[in-house]
Structure 1
Amino acid sequence: MKLDNFLFRKISQSFQEFSLYSQKSLGKAEALQRKKEFDLNNYLRVFHAFDTYFYSLADISTLTVIDAGGPIEQFTGYTKEEVIKRGYTLMLSIHHLKDTIRATRGGTKYFKYLYAQEPEKRPYIKVNRTLDLICKDGRKLFVLAQSIPVLFNEHMEPIYMLNIYSDISDLQPSRQYSHYIIDSSDPEHPKKISLFDKNDYSDCFQSAVSKSEMRVLELIAKGMDSKLIADQLFISEHTVRTHRKNILRKMECSNMTEVVKKALLEGWL
Structure 2
Amino acid sequence: MGINQFLFRKISESFQEFSRYSQTAHGKRDVLQRKKEFDLNNYLRVFHAFDTYFYSLADITTLSIIDAGGPIQHFIGYSKEEVIKNGYGLMLKIHHLKDVVRGVRGGTRYFKYLYDQAPQNRPFIKVNRTLDLVCKDGKTMFVLAQSIPVLFNENMEPIYMLNIYSDISSMQPTRKYSHYIVDTSDPENPKRIPVFHKEEYKDCFPSTLSPAELKVIDLLAEGMESKEVAEKLFVSEHTVRTHRKNILKKMKCKNMIEVVKTALVEGWI
**TM-score, normalised with respect to structure 1:** 0.90
Separation in 1, partners of 2:264, 2:211: 17
Measured after TM superposition, the shift of residue 178 of structure 1 is: 0.6
Provide the residue aligned with 1:198 in structure 2: 198
Separation in 1, partners of 2:127, 2:90: 20
Separation in 2, partners of 1:252, 1:70: 40
Q: Which amino acid in structure 2 is aligned with residue 203 of structure 1?
A: D
Q: Is the 8 A contact 1:177 1:266 kept in 2?
A: no
Separation in 2, partners of 1:26, 1:217: 45
Measured after TM superposition, the shift of residue 216 of structure 1 is: 2.2
- More deviation, 197-206/185-194: 197-206
Correspondence list, 1:228-239, <5 A:
229-230=229-230, 233=233, 235-239=235-239
Measured after TM superposition, the shift of residue 229 of structure 1 is: 4.0
Q: Does 1:72 align with 2:72?
A: yes
Deviation string for 1:238-267 (max 9, x for gaps)? 2202323555684969666993x8756764
Q: Is the 8 A contact 1:72 1:80 kept in 2?
A: yes
Unaligned runs of 5+ in 2: none
Q: Does 1:55 align with 2:55?
A: yes
Correspondence list, 1:21-100, <5 A:
21-100=21-100
Provide the residue aligned with 2:124 in structure 1: 124
Q: Is the 8 A contact 1:208 1:251 kept in 2?
A: no
| SS in structure 2 of the partner of residue 196 of structure 1 | coil
Separation in 2, partners of 1:102, 1:91: 13
Provide the residue aligned with 1:8 in structure 2: 8
Separation in 2, partners of 1:221, 1:78: 34
Separation in 2, partners of 1:210, 1:149: 41
Separation in 2, partners of 1:106, 1:171: 23
Provide the residue aligned with 2:147 in structure 1: 147
| Same amino acid, percent of matched pairs | 70
Q: Which amino acid in structure 2 is aligned with residue 4 of structure 1?
A: N
Q: Is the 8 A contact 2:143 2:165 kept in 1?
A: yes
Deviation string for 1:199-255 (max 9, x for gaps)? 221111244743221132344567765345435656431220232355568496966
- More deviation, 79-88/198-207: 198-207
RMSD, matched Cα: 2.5
Measured after TM superposition, the shift of residue 127 of structure 1 is: 0.2
Separation in 2, partners of 1:38, 1:253: 54
Q: Is the 8 A contact 1:176 1:265 kept in 2?
A: no
Q: Is the 8 A contact 2:56 2:67 kept in 1?
A: yes
Separation in 2, partners of 1:248, 1:49: 50
CA change 1:210–1:258 in 2 (3 A) is closer
Measured after TM superposition, the shift of residue 91 of structure 1 is: 0.7
Unaligned runs of 5+ in 1: none
- More deviation, 221-230/59-68: 221-230
Provide the residue aligned with 1:214 in structure 2: 214
CA change 1:258–1:13 in 2 (3 A) is closer
Provide the residue aligned with 1:161 in structure 2: 161
Provide the residue aligned with 2:187 in structure 1: 187
Q: Which amino acid in structure 2 is aligned with residue 175 of structure 1?
A: R
| SS in structure 1 of the partner of residue 36 of structure 2 | helix
Q: Is the 8 A contact 2:57 2:161 kept in 1?
A: yes
Separation in 2, partners of 1:105, 1:15: 8
